[in-house]
Amino acid sequence: MEHPLISIVIPTFNRQRELGELLESIVRQRYTPLEVIIVNDCGDSIEWVNSLYPELHIQIMNMDHNVQHVRARNEGVLLAQGEYILLCDDDDLLTDGHIDRMLKALEGGYDLAYSDVEIVHYVQGKKARMPVTRQLFAYDDNLTAMRQFSTFVPSGCLYRKAIHQEIGGFDAAVYHYWDWDFYLRVAAKFSVVRVPVASVLYAFQQGGDNLSDQLDHMRPYLNLLSQKHDLGFLPTKNFFLLLEEPAVKCRRVSSTLVWNGLPYESRLTTMGE
């Protein structure tokens, strides 16, 4: 392929169906040149991705032991050949036109662009996850407020790979809060823009394996983050309760909704038809 402009980095661990839906959403972007780097964190084989999605230039990095999601992202970034990096969790989705929209934002002179999202609750259907509820997640990006509660969602963000030459990789020491830490380090030295379009679908499953739902394990990492950036005391309340706090509610802003509400059926679940 021609030299990729954008490298999409996806860490994954045993989410075959979700990964298939994400690749389906990437195919629908109809954007080239890009490469897709999937870091299989010592999970089951995902070799099917290349045969089912030959249009995508996919590289699989198979880890020989489980390194967890932050280090897996770092490994993917090191392999990336693109001028820009686009991050995405394996269970999130990019709506049509998302990549073009993020790239246009960077071409306006910014170093990192991120979009608003819709938080989606799913149930497993026969061919795809079926959306049950959807909630707009759109907040202003005032840096002072972002130091109190981060509304930066890394899935779908696009940034210049050269940023890492200045600030290093993602910090695994803060684990759950690697994305908040990344945002603060980037915003301190580079220009960041929020794109007011909810063009990423963020999967949040209460009681599942989503890291954002594991409150019992988060306090030590939040303390480390606070010490690193001198943030003061930060609460570890339930995510949705935090959204109802007055200091957070007053940051809500308008955004453009683009998702038609339909599920993304991947070739993995339709190949037998």
Count Cβ atoms below 10 Å from residue 140 Cβ, excluding itself.
13
160 or 207, higher pLDDT:
160
Residue 37, token pair as written in the block: 């780097």
What integer pLDDT is reported at residue 30 of this predicted model?
Answer: 84
d(CA 125, CA 182): 35
Note the pLDDT tens digit of each residue in 113-141.
Answer: 999 999 999 999 999 999 999 999 999 99
Residue 15 has pLDDT above 80, yes or no: yes
Is residue 55 within 8 A of residue 27, CB to CB? The reply is yes
Note the pLDDT tens digit of each residue in 161-219.
Answer: 999 999 999 999 999 999 999 999 999 999 999 999 999 999 986 544 444 446 768 89
What integer pLDDT is reported at residue 264 of this predicted model?
Answer: 97
What integer pLDDT is reported at residue 133 of this predicted model?
Answer: 97
Residues 6+ apart with CB under 8 A from 57: 1, 4, 33, 34, 35, 36
Residue 229 has pLDDT above 90, yes or no: yes
Helix (H) or strand (E) holding 20: helix 16-27
Note the pLDDT tens digit of each residue in 49-91.
Answer: 999 999 999 999 999 999 999 999 999 999 999 999 999 999 9
26-30 contacts at long range (C-beta below 8 A, 24 or more positions apart) = 26/56, 26/94, 27/53, 27/55, 27/56, 28/96, 29/94, 29/96, 29/97, 29/98, 29/99, 29/100
Is residue 249 within 8 A of residue 148, CB to CB? The reply is no
pLDDT band at 272; cut points 50, 70, 90:
low
Q: CA triplet 111, 135, 122: central angle to 5 degrees? A: 105
Is residue 25 within 8 A of residue 12, CB to CB? The reply is no
- 129-137 vs 158-160, strand pairing mode: unpaired
Note the pLDDT tens digit of each residue in 18-40.
Answer: 999 999 999 999 888 899 999 99
Looking at domain 6-261, its CATH class is alpha beta
Stretch 94-115: mean pLDDT, rounded? Answer: 97
- 112-124 vs 129-137, strand pairing mode: antiparallel
Question: Which candidate, 246, 219, 244, places its Cα nearest to that of 233?
Answer: 219
The pTM of the whole model exceeds 0.75: yes
d(CA 6, CA 82): 5
d(CA 29, CA 35): 13
d(CA 151, CA 231): 15
Is residue 82 within 8 A of residue 166, CB to CB? The reply is no
What integer pLDDT is reported at residue 217 of this predicted model?
Answer: 81
Annotated domain spans of the chain: 6-261
